Chain A
Amino acid sequence: MRRNVGIGAINKQRIVKEKLTQKGNEIAELQLQQVSQQMDVFKHSLEEFAIKYKTEIRKNPEFRARFQVMCSKIGVDPLASSKGFWAQLLGVGDFYYELGVQIVEVCLATRPINGGIITMEDLVANLEKSSGKTRKDVQADDIIRAIGKLSVLGDGFKIIKVGKQSMIQSIPGELTMDHTTALDVASSNRGCFTITSLKELGWPDLRINTAVDSLLDQGLVWVDEVDQSYWVPALFQS
């Protein structure tokens, strides 16, 4: 009788295979359990860490940013809910909520001047000035997160890129591509663009006039009669 051949052998192979598969599943299951346990341990450590360094996290923007990164790596969002463990523990949810409210206030207060867009720099400067308690602990990173939270209220607040700068837009609706292009041109020229500079982009007159009129109407841009140039208060530095 040849070995490993015949029904007996096939059955044996099948049984071995089944057992191996079962074992494989068991091992995978075990690994999963172990990983899950490790995650729990890690989460627990993170919670302890958060308790221990609560004050640092509130006060130190760099520390806070790195803490955020740690959290997101294990899928914890400290900002997720104001009823959550984290928010209660750290009051972190409150921090961003408060900051969001202050950002809204600054944007509304400066809107008559800048038409509803403001540079990150100006926003930070205004936040530091206005708040009763010192707001020297706020950085661009915090503002970006706070605005992310605000966006659940609708698209009134968003961050746009103009040239090399980040700007916060607080008017509802979109600035069109043409608007931001014109603002782009202005941002690399002390906050000023001319009809000529838009012509150089290859725009026909109608397109230029439409964009310019719209920017004027929204109060984002003022006109200088002397040389027919258009200036963006939000981007102007004297």
Chain B
Amino acid sequence: MAATDFEWPWQYNFPPFFTIQPVATTKEQQLQSWRNLICDYHKTKRIWEIDTGSDLFNNSAINRHLSPAAIRLILQNLVQEGQGVMSGERCFALWNSVSQWGSLIHSWAADNGLSNTVLTLFEIQSGDETENQPFHGMDIWLLQHVISHLEKEGKAELMLGDNEDFSDAGVKFF
């Protein structure tokens, strides 16, 4: 699945879109539009981690960008509405909820006869077997986060190793 060219919505070229609006109802609208834009952008490009320096927050064509304070506000709102998750300074876009991602991965494992076998997170993320799956290429921290959520639901067991980058982490699906 190749990443496709992203079509910007009209708001992206609307200069005030990059100013947090003072009027509450307008701001609500604006934040909702930002949440949609962030999720659509990342889903189309198949990028999970939000890069605050990208052209998403910086439209050079109209010479407007979001201030750091505005970015913080928007990302906080994104997380609050369940469409983003933070890990320290890093923020990930959730065009599917953590729970939905969990379902997708769990189903894939079941459909491929992989229940009750141990798989590495790396295999799930980058293996040939997942190449056509929507979660292929998912950031490894997020993958671990999704699976630990599955674990809480009793549908998997997460096995963390010593490495901080999860390169030795595994999972068993039930």
Q: A226-B64, A236-B10 known; A219 and B16 CB under 8 Å?
A: no
Closest to A227 in B: B15
Cα A219 to Cα B16 with chains together (Å): 13
**B88 is an interface residue with CB less than 8 A from chain A:** no
**B113 is an interface residue with CB less than 8 A from chain A:** no
Tell me how many residues of B have a C-beta within 8 Å of chain A: 17
Closest to B61 in A: A238
Q: A216-B22, A216-B23, A216-B26 known; A222 and B64 CB under 8 Å?
A: no
Residues of A191-233 whose CB lies within 8 A of B? 192, 216-217, 219, 222-226, 229, 231, 233
**A84 is an interface residue with CB less than 8 A from chain B:** no
Whether B22 contacts A223 by the Cβ 8 Å rule is: yes
Whether A222 contacts B10 by the Cβ 8 Å rule is: no
In-complex Cβ contact of B29 among A112, A192, A231 (8 A): A112
Cα A175 to Cα B65 with chains together (Å): 32
Whether A225 contacts B14 by the Cβ 8 Å rule is: no
A12 to chain B, nearest CB (A): 89
Whether B14 contacts A219 by the Cβ 8 Å rule is: no
What string of 1s and 0s marks CB contacts (under 8 Å) between A107-124 and chain B?
Answer: 000001100000000000
B64 to chain A, nearest CB (A): 6
In-complex Cβ contact of A219 among B13, B15, B23, B63 (8 A): B23
Whether A217 contacts B23 by the Cβ 8 Å rule is: yes
Whether A238 contacts B10 by the Cβ 8 Å rule is: yes
**B107 is an interface residue with CB less than 8 A from chain A:** no
Closest to A220 in B: B26
**B21 is an interface residue with CB less than 8 A from chain A:** yes
B126 to chain A, nearest CB (A): 39
Cα A236 to Cα B18 with chains together (Å): 15
Whether A219 contacts B64 by the Cβ 8 Å rule is: no
Tell me how many residues of A have a C-beta within 8 Å of chain B: 16
Residue of B14, B23, B26, B64 with most partner-chain A CB within 10 A:
B26
Whether A233 contacts B23 by the Cβ 8 Å rule is: no
A72 to chain B, nearest CB (A): 40
Q: Collect the chain B residues with CB atoms within 8 Å of residue A233's CB.
A: 14
A115 to chain B, nearest CB (A): 8
Q: Collect the chain A residues with CB atoms within 8 Å of residue B16's CB.
A: 222-224, 231
Q: Collect the chain A residues with CB atoms within 8 Å of residue B19's CB.
A: 222-226
Q: Collect the chain A residues with CB atoms within 8 Å of residue B63's CB.
A: 226
Q: Collect the chain A residues with CB atoms within 8 Å of residue B17's CB.
A: 222
Residues of B6-60 whose CB lies within 8 A of A? 10, 13-19, 21-23, 25-26, 29-30
Q: Collect the chain A residues with CB atoms within 8 Å of residue B18's CB.
A: 224, 226
Whether A224 contacts B15 by the Cβ 8 Å rule is: yes
Whether B14 contacts A238 by the Cβ 8 Å rule is: yes
Q: Collect the chain B residues with CB atoms within 8 Å of residue A238's CB.
A: 10, 13-14
Cα A127 to Cα B87 with chains together (Å): 44
B3 to chain A, nearest CB (A): 24
Q: A224-B15, A238-B14 known; A219 and B22 CB under 8 Å?
A: no
Whether B14 contacts A231 by the Cβ 8 Å rule is: yes
In-complex Cβ contact of A113 among B15, B22, B23, B29 (8 A): B29
Q: Collect the chain A residues with CB atoms within 8 Å of residue B22's CB.
A: 216, 223
Whether A226 contacts B14 by the Cβ 8 Å rule is: no
Closest to B19 in A: A225
Closest to A215 in B: B23
In-complex Cβ contact of B21 among A112, A192, A223 (8 A): A223
Interface residues of A (CB under 8 A from B): 112-113, 192, 216-217, 219, 222-226, 229, 231, 233, 236, 238
4 further A-B contacts with Cβ under 8 Å, apart from A112-B29, A217-B23, are: A224-B16, A224-B19, A226-B64, A231-B16
